[in-house]
């Protein structure tokens, strides 16, 4: 891979292969850990929230409790080496790095 590898959008199969079982993090404030059983562990500033992840076409979706109801957000996943972008319509929303979960 070239040092200046551009971001490319991951397909559902690539998300399953490259993201599931790993974590995406800013290495300081938050960790999103994608367990193979569909559980999503969101750790933000020391607080743990359990949610669910799923694939919808080529989007990675999070479903989490919100005020007694389920809230769902879906993102395109873009990757350049270890950098991961959560995007909507190609626009970056959040960027982290791919790591082994803690």
What is the distance between the alpha carbons of residues 64 and 74, in angstroms, rounded to a whole number? 12
Phi-psi category of residue 82: left, alpha or beta, with phi > 0 → left and psi -120 to 50 → alpha: alpha
> What letter does residue 11 receive in the DSSP assignment?
P
- State residue 3's pLDDT score: 56
pLDDT in tens, 79-91: 999 999 999 999 9
> Is the Cα dihedral 45, 36, 21, 88 positive or negative?
negative
CATH architecture of the domain with residue range 8-99? Beta Barrel (2.40)
Phi-psi category of residue 13: left, alpha or beta, with phi > 0 → left and psi -120 to 50 → alpha: alpha
CA end-to-end span of the chain: 27
pLDDT in tens, 40-52: 999 999 999 999 9
pTM (2 d.p.): 0.89
């Amino acid at each position: 891979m070239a040092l200046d590898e551009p971001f490319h959008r991951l397909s559902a199969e690539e998300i399953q292969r490259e993201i599931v079982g790993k974590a995406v993090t800013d290495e300081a404030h938050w960790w999103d850990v994608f367990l193979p059983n569909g559980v999503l562990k969101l750790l933000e500033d020391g607080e743990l929230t359990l949610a669910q992840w799923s694939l919808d076409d080529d989007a990675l979706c999070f479903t989490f409790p919100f005020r007694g109801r389920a809230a769902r957000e879906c993102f395109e996943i873009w990757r350049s080496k270890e950098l991961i972008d959560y995007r909507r319509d190609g626009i970056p929303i959040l960027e982290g790095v791919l790591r082994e979960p803690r």
